[in-house]
Amino acid sequence: MCPLLKFQTFDGTGSLDTFFNKFHRMAKYLCWDEEDEFNHLCASLEGVAGQVLWDLDPWVNTQDLVRLLQTRFGTELHAERFKAELRTRRRAPGNHYKPCTKISVD
């Protein structure tokens, strides 16, 4: 008898990478085909993350949906944005920060 597996959901909070890692492991374990994987992925999206489904074209596949979720909720593009914000950050007049550790923004 196969043990019960708990399907994870993603609502736009938490780690998208962790969610995808668990999701793809479950898909492999349960031998899902492309259609199964796409439909289970759609069903596991809730809240803000689930709203990405509203505008999907009918021909979108799992890889397209994964890329869309990574763009909106992943950390890759956010890291570049945060680096740029750190480079341009300025103190308000009269606002003095104590120096702490050196931050590298290569």
Q: How many residues does the chain have?
A: 106
Please give the distance of CA 11 from its chain centroid, rounded to a whole number. 9
Question: What is the model's pLDDT at position 88?
Answer: 74
**Every domain of the chain and the residues it spans:** 16-88
- The pTM assigned to this predicted structure is 0.68
Closest C-alpha among 29, 28, 23 to residue 10? 23
DSSP bridge partners of 45: 10
Is residue 76 within 8 Å of 54, Cβ to Cβ? no
Sign for the pseudo-dihedral over CA of 65, 67, 68, 72:
positive
Q: State yes or no: pLDDT of 97 exceeds 70.
A: no
Model pLDDT for residues 68-94, shown as the tens digit of each residue: 999 888 876 666 666 776 777 766 666
Of 84 and 19, more confident? 19
